Amino acid sequence: MAQSQITPIFCNSIGNTTAAALQCCHPNNQTSSICQVDFDPNGPTFLGGCSSGDCIAECQDIGLLYSSVAQIDPYFGNGKAPIRRYQTCANVPAMAGYLSHNALEPSISSSVLPFVSPHTTDDDLRKVTRAITECLTSTCENARNRSICSSQCSAVNLLINSTTPNVEGLNDCLGSLCNGHYGSLPFADADVIGIGVFTSYIMQCIFVVLFWFGLLAFEIYRRKQKPAEQRVETRKTEETKGVQPQKQRTSNHQGLFEGFLVEFHKSQCYFSATIQIASLSYGIFETDMLVTFMLIPLATNGVLPVMFAFILLFRYGKATMDVTLLTAACWFLSSIVYWILYAHIIPINSDIGPGEREFRAYRQFMYKLSAIDACGGYSALAVCPDKFTVGQRDITKASHNIRVLTPIIWSFSTVCLIAVLAAKTARWVRGRNNRRQGSQEDPDNAAQDNPSSRNLPLTLSITYWLTTLCFVAGICMQLSLLSIGTSLNMMDGKDWGFGQIVAITIWVPPLMAYLYKEMKEVLRVRYHVGLSTLGGPSAVH
């Protein structure tokens, strides 16, 4: 872009207007009203821009320049400090240059001298210029849509020379970043919320619901069978013809399906537990809204679908001791991570009501998402004159879901887990007492978590179906939590890297094993193909 022939002494509203509309104090008109406002001894230029009294030192420190209380602690701060500092520091090299050449009017010089030394070295000015420009350039390079800022934030556009930034270039670059919406932000950590990982979380929830529907279908089919007497007669007739009874065939398929559920449940427990262990080393002990938005849905995903599958296993007598211990361990790890993260937003729930303050607290995750080392570990978007307000509606909705839905999900799942563990304990105690009293109860039945009979008493049957329906509703809530990653545009839908492919294959082993066993069963029943021809034993397991 074309640069002004004369570098202004000071320009306001950098990043908030066009280059032609910048309000600047020029060296050839130092008595203008703009100059009087900019260099008012009691104005914000230095009192807010260089609070320590040494603008050169402050403006070299990128950790100070781009930092704000709001980025560190979401409970406090309004985000105005870095905006004011940047507006001042962007003009410090020009002010220092004019001051060293005695080119400032006495009234302006008297305002500048307490904060900028007339003997500032070129090396100091280079450091200030780098701090002002390199953060913006690096932020653009890390943006998901670099085309919105690549030319505006290039070094050739941001610099007049190595000691002086081009204020008009800074205005264009900052304006493109501040108005770039989600395009100015990088994507979140793909290992946590990449497209493959996200798909795997969704698949976990869908699989559990499909298991529920499948078992429901078996239940309905079984209840529609003929009366027992007719089935016995039919069985005798079919056996004389060498045909396997229909009831037995259905039982075999249901047994395979239940075995599939067992193996899937083990896979999801290992998957979820591993995620929770990794989460413990992901900075969850600090109040970081980016981490909170990413990991709370994953923590509840290690509770709700796991408990749903466990309820199904308990109902059909498959909740063996190893499965129970694995489930409890997964719940324990997920609960630890969940409550550590949720504890960070409890003060927001109680101290910050709805409206701008609540949004400001949750907006911290936008700054955390765009924080880079070139900005001292902070975000260049924090210096946007009008603040970076993209996604306010989405953030408010996501924060509401996290604050309201997650306690419901965790509490309901935990109550169900406690109820199942209590029932298993009572059954174990009852079986132990029977053995002490010399009961002749079948040891196979005593070892079962649930009676082998598929017919439950009416009260228990109603309780079971109401509970599972609540779990289905909970899965819908969980899916809305997982959708936070998409509603806030945190993931790259095209980034199917190595880790993303691995993430979705976690469910392949139990699925392939189930399909293989079903194929063997179909071949055995329909085509009388012996399992030995498939390389397996002669009986279905």
CA distances from 78 to 38, 398, 412 (A): 23, 21, 37
What digits encode the pLDDT tens for the residues 50-59?
A: 878 889 999 9
Mean pLDDT (whole number) for 251-272: 92
pLDDT reported for residue 498: 84
For residues 358 and 351, what is the distance between their CA atoms, to the nearest angstrom? 9
pLDDT reported for residue 446: 43
| 3-state secondary structure at position 44 | helix
For residues 227 and 137, what is the distance between their CA atoms, to the nearest angstrom? 78
Indicate the domain borders of the chain.
Answer: 10-184, 190-350+394-426+453-534
> Positive or negative, the Cα torsion across 331, 332, 335, 336?
negative
Tell me, what amino acid is at 341?
A: L
pLDDT reported for residue 362: 65
pLDDT reported for residue 129: 95
Has residue 451 got a pLDDT over 50? no
Q: What is the pTM of this model?
A: 0.79
Has residue 359 got a pLDDT over 90? no
For residues 329 and 270, what is the distance between their CA atoms, to the nearest angstrom? 10
Tell me, what amino acid is at 342?
A: Y
Q: Which helix (H) or strand (E) holds 487?
A: helix 484-487
Q: Which residues pair with 161 in a beta bridge?
A: 164
Confidence band of 346 (pLDDT split at 50, 70, 90): confident
Has residue 207 got a pLDDT over 60? yes
Confidence band of 391 (pLDDT split at 50, 70, 90): low
| 3-state secondary structure at position 188 | coil
For residues 476 and 309, what is the distance between their CA atoms, to the nearest angstrom? 15
What digits encode the pLDDT tens for the residues 300-323?
A: 999 999 999 999 999 998 999 999
Please report, in angstroms and rounded to a whole number, the separation of the first and last CA atoms in the chain: 75
Q: Which of 158, 36, 12, 35 lies closest to 87, judged by CA?
A: 12
Token pair 């020029």 in the structure block, residue: 26
Q: Which residue has the higher pLDDT, 482 or 228?
A: 482
Q: Which of 27, 24, 31, 95 lies closest to 59, judged by CA?
A: 95
* Burial of 83 (C-beta count, 10 Å sphere; 0-12/13-18/19+): buried
pLDDT reported for residue 206: 96
What digits encode the pLDDT tens for the residues 481-494?
A: 998 888 888 888 88
What digits encode the pLDDT tens for the residues 144-159?
A: 999 999 999 999 999 9
Has residue 539 got a pLDDT over 50? no
Q: Which of 491, 279, 290 lies closest to 378, judged by CA?
A: 290
φ and ψ at 10, to 5 degrees?
-155, 135
Of the listed ranges 168-172, 236-240, 370-374, 408-412, the least confidently predicted one is 236-240
* Residue 68 exposure: Cα atoms within 13 Å on the Cβ side: 32
Give the pairing type, strands 159-161 and 23-25. Answer: unpaired
Confidence band of 2 (pLDDT split at 50, 70, 90): very low
DSSP letter at 355? T
